[in-house]
């Protein structure tokens, strides 16, 4: 989607214009036929509401879309206000993306918006425009995307600078959605790395890739045990952004990247297994966030780590009852080969601590079905060994819209993963499954290192469209990471 700021509407006058309407307050100077039509249609300017009509302006018939933005006087920095504006932009995209219109002029004259408000409106519009039609060869004409450009006129001061930052964020979200949406025969560990290398090139990022030999030398028996049943070799990808003070400790984000999860020998039920292409949603979020941070030149040092494997059940696959040795030296009894994400993460967490000594670590993973049972698709769960880190992550979630809900950790849960023959087992009882998974990861965090685990299992994929996404990949996690870095890591 191409978004441009113009000093004035293009000549000849645009034939398709969008204007904003606050709750029960129509734009000044709006034609009576549009005002009366909106009233008849019960349009009240509620956030995300759309009304359209046709009027004659000059000698041209103009299609006018009124987009509701909710309360007129919301504070510019208020998350609710930004969310309302995003919904307004997203509603325009949803309504007109495949409408036959190729260009939309958004006229902000008299809207009372700030530059940040304008950017929020455009962010919602662009995010809702994203679709993945690469494999749809017989799409009906009336379902094909036609809207290609948006022209913004009468924008408030500072809008272009604000939008430049949000455009970088949008690019990161779109990249994550792309990675999560691609099928498992297209995105696997090697191709995930190749896609990142191509997309992140020229952004000022450093990419480091560990292959099987390097991981074997480092002793990553937990991660490699997951991958041994697949012909696709594992990879560990590190994405480094040094935008902060030279020598300052980086913030680290670690993503689970199981590019397809069959469950291994502990095979998943066939129904719905196709969804397991998105079991790399944590790694996808980390990659997209690193693209966003580099795109807006974040003034912070940040490391993104993606642990990439495919979990398959061939004759070489690890078995329930096997014991593996992690990079940390701790041994793990494999109880369930479908509890594989924590095995990938534990070695990735050990490596990032030894290699980069980060100031804090946050991991993101589609880790447990238990988290979906607990929170559905409204929140991701957050577990942390540091109160300050937990609080700032939850605050970033509220502001960004990638919401988090706090869960406990503690000794009664930790003892549930003790093993009679190894240091620990990779799965506890069914009850409290999301918590025991987090307790497992905590065993690999060095004392004194702030750490948080985000179980995002219910958030990376949606069975129905949301305010700013179509059915499918949501891009969850990118905005959360970006907001956390903005609020807590940049100087």
Q: What are the catalytic residues? A: 268, 342
Neighbours of 50 (CB within 10 A): 18
Distance of CA 99 to the CA centre of its chain: 27
Neighbours of 112 (CB within 10 A): 13
Residues across the chain: 491
Separation between Cα atoms, residue 415 and residue 87, nearest integer Å: 45
Give me the phi and psi of 425, to 5 degrees please: -115, 160
Neighbours of 429 (CB within 10 A): 9
Strand spans (E) along 81-148? 103-107
Q: Concatenated DSSP letters for 204-269?
A: T-EEEEE-HHHHHHHT-HHHHHHHTTSSSPPEEEEEEEE-SSTTPPPEEEEEEEEEEE--TTSPPP
The conformation of residue 423, written as its DSSP 8-state character, comes to S
Strand spans (E) along 99-226? 103-107, 149-153, 206-210
How buried is residue 405: exposed, middle or buried, by Cβ count under 10 Å (0-12/13-18/19+)?
Answer: middle
Separation between Cα atoms, residue 380 and residue 369, nearest integer Å: 12
Separation between Cα atoms, residue 407 and residue 416, nearest integer Å: 17
Separation between Cα atoms, residue 167 and residue 397, nearest integer Å: 19
Count of alpha carbons within 13 Å of 154, Cβ hemisphere only? 14
CB-CB contact of 352 with 244 (8 Å): no
Torsion-angle region of 413 (φ positive above 0: left; ψ -120 to 50: alpha; else: beta): alpha
Neighbours of 222 (CB within 10 A): 29
Give me the phi and psi of 383, to 5 degrees please: -120, 140
Separation between Cα atoms, residue 34 and residue 54, nearest integer Å: 8
Q: Concatenated DSSP letters for 364-411?
A: EE---HHHHHHHTTT-EEEEES-HHHHHHHHHHHHHHS--EEE----H
Sign for the pseudo-dihedral over CA of 278, 283, 287, 293: positive
Separation between Cα atoms, residue 238 and residue 249, nearest integer Å: 16
Angstrom distances, CA of residue 389 to CA of 225, 371, 382, 410, 451: 31, 20, 10, 17, 7
Rounded (5°) CA angle 257-259-263: 100
């Amino acid at each position: 989607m191409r978004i441009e700021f113009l000093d004035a509407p293009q000549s000849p006058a645009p034939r398709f214009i969008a204007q904003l309407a606050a709750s029960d307050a129509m734009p000044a100077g709006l034609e009576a036929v549009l005002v009366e039509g909106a009233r008849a249609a019960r349009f009240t300017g509620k956030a995300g509401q759309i009304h359209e009509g046709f009027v004659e302006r000059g000698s041209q018939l103009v299609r006018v879309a009124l987009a509701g933005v909710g309360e007129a006087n919301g504070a510019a920095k208020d998350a609710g206000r930004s969310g309302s504006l995003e919904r307004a932009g997203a509603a325009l995209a949803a309504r007109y993306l495949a409408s036959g219109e190729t260009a939309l002029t958004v006229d902000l004259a008299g809207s009372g918006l700030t530059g940040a408000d304008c950017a929020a409106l455009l962010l919602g519009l662009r995010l809702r425009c994203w679709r993945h039609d690469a494999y749809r060869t017989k799409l009906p004409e009336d379902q094909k995307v036609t809207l290609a450009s948006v022209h913004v006129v009468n924008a408030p001061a500072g809008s272009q600078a604000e939008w430049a930052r949000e455009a970088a964020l949008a690019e990161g979200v779109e990249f994550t959605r792309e990675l999560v949406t691609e099928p498992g025969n297209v995105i696997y560990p090697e191709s995930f790395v190749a896609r990142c290398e191509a997309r992140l090139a020229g952004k000022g990022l450093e990419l480091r890739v560990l292959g099987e030999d390097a991981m074997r030398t480092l002793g990553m028996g937990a991660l490699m045990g997951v991958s041994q049943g697949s012909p696709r070799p594992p990879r560990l990808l590190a994405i480094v952004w040094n935008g902060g003070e030279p020598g300052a400790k980086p913030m680290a984000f670690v993503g689970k990247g199981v590019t397809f999860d069959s469950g291994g020998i502990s095979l998943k039920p066939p129904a719905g297994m196709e969804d397991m292409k998105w079991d790399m949603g944590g790694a996808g979020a980390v990659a997209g966030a690193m693209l966003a941070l580099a795109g807006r030149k974040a003034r912070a040092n940040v490391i993104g780590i993606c642990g990439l494997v495919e979990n398959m059940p061939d004759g070489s696959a690890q078995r329930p009852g096997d014991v593996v040795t992690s990079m940390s030296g701790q041994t793990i009894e494999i109880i369930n080969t479908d509890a594989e994400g924590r095995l990938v993460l534990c070695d990735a967490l050990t490596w990032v601590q030894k290699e980069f000594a980060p100031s804090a670590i946050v991991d993101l993973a589609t880790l447990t079905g238990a988290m979906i049972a607990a929170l559905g698709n409204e929140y991701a769960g957050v577990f942390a060994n540091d109160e300050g880190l937990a609080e700032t992550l939850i605050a970033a979630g509220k502001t960004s819209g990638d919401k988090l809900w706090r869960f406990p950790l503690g000794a009664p849960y930790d003892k549930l993963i003790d093993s009679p023959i190894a240091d620990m087992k990779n799965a506890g009882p069914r009850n409290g499954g999301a918590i025991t998974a987090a307790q497992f990861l905590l065993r690999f965090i060095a004392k004194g290192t702030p750490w948080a685990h985000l179980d995002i299992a219910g958030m990376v994929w949606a069975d129905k469209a949301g305010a700013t996404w179509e059915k499918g990949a949501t891009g969850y996690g990118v905005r959360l990471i970006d907001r956390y870095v903005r609020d807590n890591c940049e100087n």
